Structure 1
């Protein structure tokens, strides 16, 4: 993931989480302190979807993009009750970030096996 992070201008941080919201790994730029809060917020959302019977629906969804006033959060859902939150500045190239994440997915999936 650090290779993806380093290649995306405007990347603020990323966190790899379990469905219960526990951060397993994380990495941020020096001045980005709100990653744990953003990760927890999205963890609640993903966890609730999976717990309240929408697992079948989410089973087909691999990526969720959330746009906010000052940031964009990309959520990559993994089949084994994990997900990734990748936070970007608004001016970042989201398409490039999504492509890089897709390229990194086989290695990330192998890590959680």
Structure 2
């Protein structure tokens, strides 16, 4: 079972979640799958969270772990976050750590400038 669908858009790697939950049950598998994409050293990864309806602290930790694994000249940005996920990022103040965009197109446009 794959958790991420990937697409390349120039130097930008777009990863789309295929599951509707990112929680303790799949966080380790998510980290491993995300790690394989990070190991390819894309300068930017856009993580599309449109399908995520529920995320717990393990899911949040898995995303943070992915960001920490990336090099200093790379970036992980988030897009298409639902209300619950956005609230989690604001509550934990992670909205100050990650760039967040309303849509995938908005993220790509901002990163292509």
User: Do Structure 1 and Structure 2 share a fold, with TM-score over 0.5?
Assistant: no
* Larger fraction in strand: 1
TM-score using structure 2 length:
0.33
Instruction: Pick 1 or 2: higher relative contact order, CA cutoff 8 A, min separation 6.
Output: 1
